[in-house]
Homo-oligomer: A and B are copies of this chain.
Amino acid sequence: MRILFDKDEVRRICEEKRCAGFRIGFVPTMGALHEGHLSLVRRAAAQSGFVVVSIFVNPTQFGPGEDLNKYPRDLEGDSRLLESVGADIVYAPDKASVYPSGYATYVTVERLIEGLCGLSRPGHFRGVATIVAKLFNTVRPHVAVFGQKDAQQAAVIKRMVRDLDLDIAIDVGPIVREPDGLAMSSRNRYLDSEERSEAAILSRALREAETMVSSGVTDAHKIKAGVQEMINSMPLACIEYVEIVDREELFNVSDVSGGALLALAVRFGGTRLIDNTVLLPGKG
């Protein structure tokens, strides 16, 4: 495995591999890797012959007051983990090479970015779509793997790839959870022990919603109310949103009979956590 910092070198190697007939898999990350990321790299490795993982803490997807500066960085530790799961290249560009002086171009995906996390994080998905487009143009993967944990991000990237005629398959890997159900996240380490303990309510509330749907409830309002009530039973939890939306287009739905995404964002102290599940009647 090689750790590369130079865009042109990554591009040249990937182009050689592509023309030599290798299928190229790609997983973009911000580092601070956990088992969730590693599961995505394993998925990429299972679907391709050459795996590139990028590590770049992308400033344009952080809002003012968000955790850009304290976001954990550990290239050495991350690289060891990536080697163990079959990455061939770690691409870790520096900020100045990604956003040189005079930078002016942004990719926006309308509509899908309006609700959910887009409401409290204006500009976030513009930053995400732009950096992912840039990384795609450097690596030119056949397949790129994203996590279902960031469901809105996955929907935005799928839409972008289709719309911009990028010839890239987008594969979405399932959420990986801690033993108590908490979705793995680089931000979980910000939680103190009390917050950490309460945060397990999120996945329990999602499981409860699945159970309601399995037992025949399809009214989105009722399902959301049940989820909100469970979360609000935790003294430190502060709900940002609990929404039930179309799985691809992310507009609000009032009934989950055709399947839907239940997504939530909840703050525990200064830490904002997201989680979600797909509700499929007849699934249970």
Residues in A198-220 with C-beta less than 8 Å from chain B: none
CB atoms of B137 and A167 under 8 A apart: yes
A194 contacts B by Cβ under 8 Å: no
Residues in A104-160 with C-beta less than 8 Å from chain B: 104-112, 129-130, 133-135, 137-138, 159-160
Chain B residues positioned under 8 Å from A130 (CB to CB): 164
A102 contacts B by Cβ under 8 Å: yes
A103 to B104, CA, bound (A): 23
With both beta carbons as reference points, the residue of chain B lying nearest to A8 in the complex is identified as B167
**Partner pick for A105 among B11, B103, B109, CB 8 A cutoff:** B109
CB atoms of A105 and B159 under 8 A apart: yes
A249 contacts B by Cβ under 8 Å: yes
With both beta carbons as reference points, the residue of chain B lying nearest to A18 in the complex is identified as B19
Please name 5 further chain A to chain B contacts, defined as beta carbons within 8 Å, in addition to the given A105-B159, A137-B166, sorted by A numbering.
A102-B159, A104-B112, A106-B108, A137-B164, A137-B165
Pairs A–B under 8 Å by Cβ, sample size 13: A18-B19, A104-B110, A104-B111, A104-B112, A104-B163, A105-B107, A105-B109, A105-B160, A106-B107, A106-B108, A133-B164, A135-B165, A137-B164
